[in-house]
Amino acid sequence: MECGLWLSLGGFHERGQDWEQTQKIYNCHVLLNSKGAVVATYRKTHLCDVEIPGQGPMCESNSTMPGPSLESPVSTPAGKIGLAVCYDMRFPELSLALAQAGAEILTYPSAFGSITGPAHWEVLLRARAIETQCYVVAAAQCGRHHEKRASYGHSMVVDPWGTVVARCSEGPGLCLARIDLNYLRQLRRHLPVFQHRRPDLYGNLGHPLS
């Protein structure tokens, strides 16, 4: 409230109404407006159950419930914001659904690992920006959580062309970027990929590989 800023914060460990039954939390992304009011909450839908050599196993589903739905993009002074969390960025279906629902800015508060970070962090964020023609804002935890886990850091902002327009280093930091919605709309006019999609050919892409 003092600074008149909107804040995208996450992920928070949230007890849901099913806590007594499940004893599991939700990984929650919260959007606050400039008055400090909660205007949107998104519960992470894709849980990170992976075993990466050199990074150690992670089984988020041991303690976390998957969110039941996506959150509609929220109108803000900067543009319409779509909410996601970390591992969600590996699923283009989610980012495309948010873009088709009107998102102009995709947000991914994250804690990428020390192995997946250097390999995938930037390329995934740039891919999500290019395919959705959205700005992508990705705040990233950095440093060591405990002896078996460290986070990569390198928070960044990517424009709809896929250019990294602001980034932090590995450690704590602050980066600023200008959100130019006129540029976004111009790009979408010049490269109208959403008008060229063929859902009749590839419809539902959410099925596991056979």
Task: Report the amino acid identity of residue 162.
Answer: G
Mean pLDDT score, 96-109: 96
Measured in degrees and rounded to the nearest 5, phi and psi for residue 36 equal 85, 10
pLDDT band at 27 (very low <50, low <70, confident <90, very high): very high
**Considering the entire predicted model, what is its pTM?**
0.94
CA distance linking residue 161 with residue 185, whole number of Å: 11
For 115, the token pair is: 């192995």
Of 39, 32, 42, 31, which Cα lies nearest the Cα of 4? 32
Report the pLDDT averaged over residues 15-43.
Answer: 96
